[in-house]
Amino acid sequence: MLVVMQAHATAEDVRAVCEKIESLGYRAHPLPGAERTAIGITGNKGEIEPGALEEMPGVRELIRVTKPYKLVSRDIKEDNTVISFPGTDATFGGPGLAIVAGPCAIESREQAFAVAERVHRSGAQFFRGGAYKPRTSPYSFQGLEEEALRIMAEIREQFGLKIVTEAIDNESLELVDEYADVIQIGARNMQNFSLLKHAGRARKPVLLKRGMSATLEEFLMAAEYVMSEGNYQVILCERGVRTFADHTRNTLDLSLIPAVQRLSHLPILVDPSHGTGKRNKVTPLSRASVAVGADGLLIEVHCDPDKALSDGMQSLYPDQFDELMTQVRQIAAVVGRTVPAIGEHAEVGATSKPDTGLRAAR
Ligand code: PEP
Ligand code: MN
């Protein structure tokens, strides 16, 4: 059930409806939109008796949500969710594309700083690097853990880059929540429901990658898990799925982008690095991702990919990343988006904590 408030409803009206919902034993999720606030109700086993809510001041109507996902749906919020960050003009879902770049894993302070310096110079606003690596083999490099988080915190200090890194379990999630700006949940954990619920109780935005064989509905339901716990700052990421095709590591499913945008207000990125697994395919598919309407890109970059401890084959050299940025900037202009140029995303003065803002619906 969804309570749609009138455009002129006051904050007090919204609060009173939320309190009423909670007093009935349900959970209220107020999501402000450009035109009006809608309040999602979860925690109900069956039908909710509308009587008590329908007559409250500021309530326009009650709508039954028939889809299995509710809070991620455009039914509750028509306009796109924009996630912004204190002290920068970087957003996920705003007119400017979010560019997340960095090595697959943090291998050393020197390696991380060398990549950060280059991707910052090319215009990325977000630095990524694995501290906890979910590897196929237990004998492969598993990540530097908290030491990597400390290195990335230093990178934020030095370059003003916001930090995106993966949590692989509830324990690492607490540390990632403490050190990073965005908590990544990887493809292998997209249906780790305990981890999703923990991420829903974290303070930072969550970047949720699509599972390797997840349908659109399963992907949206995973995002619903996070939102149902009260964290409404979720960024989706297409990173390729398993198919019979073997010319690439995964098959990048770009049709997911418009499909998600039709059903959900959440921002969606594309990761052509894991999506193809091949360095020579990353730039062409980055261009395609921007053309299809993605809200940003996640790109692996390494200064010496041949020596990378993970995913060297798909990591771009810094010069290639620079060229990618030049190319996607041109495509972005055609679809009415922007990609920051060098230095453009420098500090622009502090705002309050990360907030969910608005821009026109697609
Ligand atoms: C990664 O981003 O480094 C990663 C492990 O991605 P995925 O979960 O998509 O495989
Ligand atoms: Mn990787």
Closest ligand to 214 CA? 1
Work out the mean pLDDT of the chain and round it to a whole number.
93
Q: What is the pLDDT of residue 345?
A: 52
Nearest protein Cα to ligand 1, atom 4 = 186
Q: What is the pLDDT of residue 84?
A: 97
Of 141, 142, 209, 219, which is best to mutate to test ligand 1, by the most ligand atoms within 8 angstroms of its C-beta? Answer: 209
CA distance 126 to 267: 15
Give 82-100 pLDDT, tens digit per residue.
999 988 999 999 999 999 9
Asked if residue 258 has pLDDT above 60, the reply is yes
Atom of ligand 1 nearest to the CA of 186: 8
CA distance 155 to 327: 26
Atom of ligand 1 nearest to the CA of 298: 2
Asked if residue 142 has pLDDT above 50, the reply is yes
Whether residue 209 contacts residue 192, with contact meaning beta carbons closer than 8 Å, is answered with: no
From ligand 1's centre to the CA of 48, what distance in Å? 40
Nearest protein Cα to ligand 1, atom 1 = 104
Q: What is the pLDDT of residue 44?
A: 80
Instruction: Report the helix count and the strand count for the chain, using DSSP H and E.
Output: 11, 15
Q: Report residues whose beta carbon is within 6 angstroms of any ligand 1 atom.
A: 104, 130, 134, 186-188, 209, 239, 274
Residue 51: other Cβ atoms inside 10 A? 8
Nearest protein Cα to ligand 1, atom 9 = 187
Nearest protein Cα to ligand 1, atom 10 = 187
CA distance 302 to 287: 20
Q: What is the pLDDT of residue 343?
A: 59
Asked if residue 321 has pLDDT above 70, the reply is yes
CA distance 289 to 361: 19
Residue 242: other Cβ atoms inside 10 A? 11
- Rounded to two decimals, the pTM is 0.93
Q: What is the pLDDT of residue 347?
A: 46
Atom of ligand 1 nearest to the CA of 189: 8
From ligand 2's centre to the CA of 327, what distance in Å? 23
From ligand 2's centre to the CA of 288, what distance in Å? 20
CA distance 204 to 353: 10
Nearest protein Cα to ligand 1, atom 8 = 186
CA distance 295 to 332: 10
Residue 163: other Cβ atoms inside 10 A? 24
Whether residue 62 contacts residue 3, with contact meaning beta carbons closer than 8 Å, is answered with: yes
Instruction: For domain 83-361, give its CATH number from 3.40.109.10, 3.20.20.70, 3.50.50.60, 3.90.1150.10.
Output: 3.20.20.70
From ligand 2's centre to the CA of 176, what distance in Å? 17
Of 115, 238, 250, 274, which is best to mutate to test ligand 1, by the most ligand atoms within 8 angstroms of its C-beta? Answer: 274
* Topology (CATH) of 2-63: Alpha-Beta Plaits (3.30.70)
Average pLDDT over residues 217-237: 98
Atom of ligand 1 nearest to the CA of 105: 3
Q: What is the pLDDT of residue 352?
A: 33
Instruction: Return the domain boundaries, the chain.
Output: 2-63, 83-361
